[in-house]
C-alpha cells in the first residue's frame, strides 16, 4: 500500500465477527500444514503452549513454503521441550515486578495492567507463555485493587494495557476499565500493547474506534509485526482507521533467527510498517524464554544489521535495538 492511501478520509470497518474467527482458529499443527500444502514433519503432538493461529494470518503465508517467516512464528517444534542454558520461564522478571494483582510496576512513571491472558495467536517466542495468568490478571471483578494502587501513587502518569492481548477483551469491558481510570487525575497517557490489528484486523470495529476516540488522554498503540508480509491490505486499512481516530501507532519487533535476521528483511519491515502508518519503535533481542532458543541471534550480528539499516534507511525508520533485563530500570540499549 502506498503512503498516500493512508490520507483517505473514510474507513469502513469490516462486519465479520472477529470473535467467531478466534473460535475457528487452527489449533492443530497437522491441519495448518495441510492448509499450506505441506507434509507433517516432527511437530509435537502436545505442547505446554498449544498452537493457535486464525485463518486471517494463515492467508498471508505462502503455500508450499516450509520456511515461510509467518509460519515459523507460530508452528510448534520439538526443540521447545529442550532445556537451554540461560533460558527460563520468566526471562524479564515479571514475577518480581508484581505490585498488585494484575499490576506490573517495573519502570518509574508507568504501570502495566495484565488485562487478560488471552491472545489471538500463540507466538512461539512469547516471553509470557508460562505467565501465571490465573493468579495475576485483573478481571473486571478484580480491578478495584489495581485502580486503588494506581490512584495511590501520583508518580504514575502512563497506563499500559497488556496481557495476553487487551484487545481480546470486549470493547464494553475496555470502556468499563478506562472509565474507572479516568477518575485518576495524575494519569496523562494510555498505551495499548496489541497484536490484534495485525493478526486479526477485523477487530478494529466501529465500536472499538468509538471507544478510542472518546478517551480523555492521548492514546499510543504499540503493535507487533516481525516481517513485512504481515502487512496486507486489510491490516493497512485497519491501521488507517486507528490513525483517523488520533491514535499514535508504533511498531515493535523481535529479532528472530530464520525470520527477520537479515538487514534486507529488516529494512523491508521498517519501510512497510511506516507505509502502513506505524513508526518503527523497538527491535528487541529475543527474551530468553524456555523453549524459544531456536530464534536466538547474537548481539554482535544484531549490531551489524543495525549498522546496515542506518546506511540504508532514513533515521526515523531505524528502530532502537534493545534488550530487556530483569531488574533494570529501563530497556537497555544494545550498543
* Cβ within 8 Å of residue 177, ≥6 positions away: 113, 115, 140, 143, 161
What DSSP assignment string belongs to 147-212?
HHHHHT-TT--EEEEESS-GGGS-HHHHHHHHHHHTT-TT--EEEEE-SHHHH-GGG--HHHHHHH
Q: Is residue 236 annotated as involved in ligand binding?
A: no
Euclidean distance between CA atoms 22 and 168, whole angstroms: 9
Using CA of residue 164, residue 67, residue 234, residue 305, what is the dihedral sign? positive
* Cβ within 8 Å of residue 127, ≥6 positions away: 91, 92, 287, 289
Euclidean distance between CA atoms 178 and 214, whole angstroms: 10
Q: What are phi and psi of 152, to 5 degrees?
A: -80, -10
Name the one residue in this structure whose C-alpha cell is 507460530.
Answer: 74
Euclidean distance between CA atoms 267 and 146, whole angstroms: 40
Around 277, how many Cα atoms within 13 Å sit in the side-chain half-sphere?
29
Q: Is residue 123 annotated as involved in ligand binding?
A: yes
Euclidean distance between CA atoms 220 and 191, whole angstroms: 5
Contact in structure between 222 and 194 (CB atoms under 8 Å): yes
* Cβ within 8 Å of residue 58, ≥6 positions away: 26, 32, 35, 36
Q: Which residues are annotated as a binding site?
A: 119, 123, 126
- Return binding residues for [4Fe-4S] cluster: 119, 123, 126
Amino acid at each position: 500500500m502506498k503512503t498516500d492511501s493512508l490520507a483517505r478520509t473514510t474507513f469502513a470497518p469490516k462486519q465479520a465477527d472477529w470473535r467467531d474467527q478466534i473460535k475457528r482458529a487452527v489449533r492443530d499443527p497437522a491441519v495448518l500444514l495441510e492448509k499450506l500444502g505441506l507434509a507433517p514433519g516432527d511437530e509435537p503432538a502436545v505442547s505446554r503452549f498449544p498452537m493457535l493461529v486464525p485463518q486471517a494470518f494463515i492467508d498471508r503465508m505462502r503455500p508450499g513454503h516450509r520456511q515461510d517467516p509467518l509460519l515459523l512464528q507460530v508452528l510448534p517444534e520439538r526443540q521447545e521441550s529442550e532445556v537451554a542454558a540461560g533460558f527460563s520461564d520468566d526471562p524479564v522478571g515479571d514475577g518480581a515486578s508484581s505490585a498488585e494483582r494484575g499490576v506490573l510496576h517495573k519502570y518509574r512513571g508507568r504501570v502495566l495492567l495484565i488485562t487478560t491472558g488471552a491472545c489471538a495467536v500463540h507466538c512461539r517466542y512469547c516471553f509470557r507463555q508460562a505467565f501465571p495468568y490465573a493468579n495475576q490478571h485483573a478481571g473486571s471483578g478484580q480491578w478495584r485493587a489495581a485502580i486503588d494502587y494506581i490512584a495511590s501513587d501520583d508518580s504514575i502518569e502512563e497506563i499500559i494495557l497488556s496481557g495476553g492481548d487487551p484487545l481480546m477483551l470486549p470493547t464494553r469491558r475496555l470502556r468499563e476499565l478506562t472509565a474507572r481510570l479516568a477518575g485518576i487525575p495524575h494519569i496523562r497517557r494510555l498505551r495499548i500493547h496489541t497484536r490484534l490489528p495485525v493478526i486479526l484486523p477485523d477487530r478494529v470495529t466501529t465500536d472499538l474506534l468509538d471507544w478510542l476516540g472518546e478517551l480523555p488522554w492521548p492514546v499510543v498503540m504499540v503493535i507487533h509485526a516481525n516481517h513485512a508480509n504481515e502487512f496486507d491490505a486489510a491490516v493497512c486499512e485497519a491501521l488507517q482507521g486507528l490513525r483517523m481516530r488520533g491514535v499514535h501507532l508504533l511498531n515493535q519487533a523481535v529479532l528472530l533467527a530464520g525470520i527477520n535476521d537479515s538487514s534486507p528483511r529488516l529494512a523491508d519491515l521498517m519501510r512497510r510498517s511506516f507505509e502502513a502508518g506505524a513508526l518503527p519503535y523497538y527491535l528487541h533481542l529475543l527474551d530468553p524464554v524456555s523453549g524459544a532458543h531456536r530464534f536466538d541471534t547474537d548481539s554482535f550480528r544484531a549490531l551489524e544489521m543495525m549498522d546496515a539499516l542506518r546506511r540504508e534507511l532514513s533515521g526515523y525508520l531505524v528502530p532502537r535495538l534493545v534488550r530487556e533485563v530483569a531488574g533494570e530500570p529501563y530497556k537497555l540499549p544494545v550498543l
